[in-house]
Amino acid sequence: MNDWINASVLIAHDIGLHARPSVKFTKLAKGFSSEIEIASALGGPWFDAKSIVRVMAIKAGTGSTLHLRARGSDAGAAIATLSGFVASDFDKDRAYAASD
């Protein structure tokens, strides 16, 4: 039985988790096989981080904390990648129109 790996990240970006980063976040999450969930409060409710509809609905604003948890074979890498993405101001809002 796998335990959850957790992380909490402060959203410093001045618009918050807006539309483009939400898509990018979901795309990053889909790259991992682990179960990954996201919440705006530690007590939940927790939502599937690979669901664009759920991630978009979180509407986490500036100064709020995003909670992440993952379990599975690549859970550690998933949490590192996703919390790093949020902590880096969504990669400084670089163009998300990735060629892949």
Partner 1 sequence: MNKKVGIVIVSHSPDIAKGTADMVRNMVGSAVPLAYCGGNPDGGLGTSIEKILAAIDEAWSDRGVAVLVDLGGAETNSEMAVEMLPEARRGKVVVCNAPIVEGAVMAATEAWGGASLEEVKRTAEELSPQ
CB count in 10 Å sphere of residue 97: 6
* Residue 100, token pair as written in the block: 């892949």
Segment interacting with partner 1 (CB under 8 A) among 26-34, 41-49, 61-69, 84-92: 26-34
Residues 2-21 contacting partner 1, CB under 8 A: 19-20
Q: Is 27 in the site for partner 1 (CB under 8 A)?
A: yes
Q: Out of 57, 62, 73, 76, which residue is the one contacting partner 1 (CB under 8 A)?
A: 57
In the block, tokens 């959850």 appear at 4
CB 40 within 8 A of CB 60: yes
> C-beta of 100: minimal distance to partner 1 in Å?
6
Q: How many residues does the chain have?
A: 100
* Interface residue with partner 1, options 30, 42, 44, 76 (CB under 8 A): 30
* Rounded Cα gap, residues 3 and 91, in angstroms: 29
**CB-CB contact of 64 with 11 (8 Å):** yes
> Which residues contact partner 1 (rule: CB under 8 A)?
19-20, 23-24, 26-27, 30, 50-53, 56-57, 95-100
